[in-house]
Structure 1
Amino acid sequence: MALYFTEKHPERVIKYVGMDNTGLDLPDPWFYELAKWPVIGEAAMKLSMPTSVDATRQLLEGLLANKSEMTADMAQELYPPLTFQCNLASQWVLERNLDWSVTDQLIPKMKTPTLVIWGKQDTIEDSSSYVQRWHQLDPQATIVVLDHAGHLVYDDQPEKVKQLLLSFLAA
C-alpha cells in the first residue's frame, strides 16, 4: 500500500522505504497462492493460524533468522489479533484482490528516492529474486540485503536497520 501510494502521489512522499516488502509481479509463495482459492484457501489459512501464544511464538520463529530475538512479549502481543475472525478473513480477501502487476509497472516511473531492506534468510520470499527484480525496475534504488536476517529483518537486525534508516532519511 505504501509503495502504491508513493507511486500515485509522488508529491506527497519525500522518500520510500520498504522492508521485505513485495509489490513486485513475482509469484507469491505457495501458501499465499493457495489462499487465493475459495474454500481451500480459507481452510488452509484457518488451519495454519496459531491457537496459542506458544504456537504464535513458533510461527514468528519461522520468520526470524535469529531465533533468540524472539521474545515472549512479541508472541503475546501478536497472538490476540490472530484470533479475530475478521483479521483472518482479511488475509484471504487481500490475497484474492492483489494485483502486483500494477505496482510493478509503476516502479520504473517512480522518481522518489528508494531504500529497500531485505533479509538474506527470508523464508517467505526469496531475497535474490526480489532484489534482482528491484534492481531491474529501479537501478537508482538503494537495496540492502542483510545477512543473519529473515522476513522480520527489523527484528533480526534492529541496529543495522536503524542505521540504514537514519542514514537514508538524513541524506
Structure 2
Amino acid sequence: MSTTTTDTPATPMNAHGTSIYQDWLQGEHGPMRYWVSEPKRGAPVVFIHGYAAMVEHWKQITLHAARSHTFYALDLYGFGESARPSGEPTRERWAAQVATFIREVVGEPAVVVGHSMGGVVATEVARSYPDLTRALVLVNSSGMQLFERPPTFFDTVMMNALSLPILGEAVTCAFTNPCTLEYSVRQGLLSAYHNKERVTPELVQTFTTPLRKYGARSYLAASRNFRGLTLEAFPGDVRAPTLLIWGAEDRSIPPSDAEAIKAHLIPQAEIVVLPDTGHCPFDETPEAFNQALLPWLDRV
C-alpha cells in the first residue's frame, strides 16, 4: 500500500490549479517512488522512463499533460530513487511493478507511456496486463535493434566484456569515477539529444545524482541483459490503441524502428514523427510532443 509521507518533488511544480506530489509505494521488490498530479482529471496516464532515467525526465511536459489528464510517473526498480533489488532486471519484472502500481495507486486502467527502454516495459504491460491498459504510447522505444540492426563485431565485443565478472564492474567503476562522472553523463546525453542546448547543467545533475548516491550496479545489470530487453509481441498480442511518437533525428533508434513495430508487432499503431528532434522528444521539443500526444489521448 502507498505510504502516508506524501511530499512535493524536489522542484515543486504548481500551475493552473494543478500540483505535482511525490509519494512511495511498497512493492514486491521494495519501495518505488512516483509522482502524481492533483486534482484528478480525465484518463490516468502512467509515464515510464528509459534506461538510466527517472521521473524528473518528464518534467517539461508534466504540468501541461496534467491539465487534461491525471499524470503519474514512477521510477523503475534500479533507477531514480526506487529500490535496487538483486537479481536480473527483466521486462517481466518491471511490467509487474507497473501493474502493481496501476492496481494499487491508479485504481483503474491507465494509458501507459514508455520511453526508450521504458517502451519495452510498457509493451509488456499492454501484452500481459490488457485489463490494466487503456492505451499504449511508445516514445522512441528500444527493443527492435537486434532485429533491425544486428550488432557489429565491436558491439558484440563490448556486450561480452560487460557480461564478464570483474571486467564489467571495472568498466562501471571507471564510468562512475567522481572525477569524470559529470563529463561521462553529459557526453551520453549529448549523443542522445539532437538539440544540444537542451543538455543543461541541471539535466546533467539530474542524471548524475542517482549514480553518486547508489552507484551503477543496477545500470550494469540492465546492460548485461540487453539481449533480453527486446520487444516481444506478435500481431494481436497488443490490442490497445497505440501511438508511436518518434524524433526524426534519433541516431541510435531511428524512425524506421517505429515502422518496424507497426509492420511486425502492433499493426493498429499510429505513427507521428517529430522534426528536429532526437531521442527524447518530451524534453527536447515538449510543445511538439504535447501536440502529438494530448489530442490523441482525447480521441482514444
Superposition pairs for residues 77-96 of structure 1, below 5 Å?
77-86=206-215, 88-96=216-224
In 2, Cα distance between the equivalents of 1:149 and 1:107?
Answer: 29
* Offset, 1:12: 0.7
**Conserved? CA contact 1:3–1:23, under 8 Å:** no
**Conserved? CA contact 2:185–2:207, under 8 Å:** yes
In 2, Cα distance between the equivalents of 1:33 and 1:153?
Answer: 27
Aligned counterpart in structure 1 of residue 163 of structure 2, from 37, 40, 44: 37
In 2, Cα distance between the equivalents of 1:107 and 1:43?
Answer: 41
Q: Is residue 128 of structure 2 the alignment partner of residue 8 of structure 1?
A: yes
In 2, Cα distance between the equivalents of 1:4 and 1:121?
Answer: 26
In 1, Cα distance between the equivalents of 2:142 and 2:163?
Answer: 20
Which residue does 1:110 correspond to in 2? 238
Q: Which has the higher strand share?
A: 2
In 2, Cα distance between the equivalents of 1:96 and 1:70?
Answer: 27
TM-superposition CA deviations, 1:128-166 (whole Å, max 9, x none): 2x1231121222101222221111122221111111110
Superposition pairs for residues 43-54 of structure 1, below 5 Å?
43-49=170-176, 51-54=180-183
**Conserved? CA contact 1:7–1:110, under 8 Å:** yes
In 2, Cα distance between the equivalents of 1:81 and 1:46?
Answer: 14
Aligned counterpart in structure 2 of residue 146 of structure 1, from 258, 271, 274: 274
Which residue does 2:190 correspond to in 1? 61
Higher Cα Rg: structure 1 or 2?
Answer: 2
TM-superposition CA deviations, 1:80-132 (whole Å, max 9, x none): 1123454x22123223335245x43345421111111122222322332x123
In 1, Cα distance between the equivalents of 2:176 and 2:253?
Answer: 19
* Offset, 1:35: 6.4
SS at match of 2:233: helix
**Conserved? CA contact 2:247–2:274, under 8 Å:** yes
In 2, Cα distance between the equivalents of 1:6 and 1:77?
Answer: 29
In 1, Cα distance between the equivalents of 2:218 and 2:274?
Answer: 30
Structure ranking higher on relative contact order (CA contacts 8 Å, 6+ apart): 1
In 1, Cα distance between the equivalents of 2:160 and 2:172?
Answer: 9
Which residue does 1:23 correspond to in 2? 143
In 1, Cα distance between the equivalents of 2:240 and 2:127?
Answer: 8
**Conserved? CA contact 1:20–1:119, under 8 Å:** yes
* Offset, 1:22: 1.7
| TM-score, normalization by structure 2 | 0.49
Q: Is residue 285 of structure 2 the alignment partner of residue 165 of structure 1?
A: no
Q: Is residue 259 of structure 2 the alignment partner of residue 132 of structure 1?
A: yes
The change in CA–CA distance for 1:126 and 1:36 in structure 2 (over 3 A counts) is farther
In 1, Cα distance between the equivalents of 2:200 and 2:208?
Answer: 13
| TM-score, normalization by structure 1 | 0.80
* Offset, 1:44: 3.6
**Conserved? CA contact 2:137–2:244, under 8 Å:** yes
Q: Which has the higher helix share?
A: 1
In 1, Cα distance between the equivalents of 2:160 and 2:287?
Answer: 35
Tell me which stretches of 4 or more aligned residues in structure 1 moved more than 6 Å.
none
The change in CA–CA distance for 1:45 and 1:168 in structure 2 (over 3 A counts) is farther
How many residues align structurally? 168
The change in CA–CA distance for 1:41 and 1:55 in structure 2 (over 3 A counts) is closer
**Conserved? CA contact 1:35–1:96, under 8 Å:** no
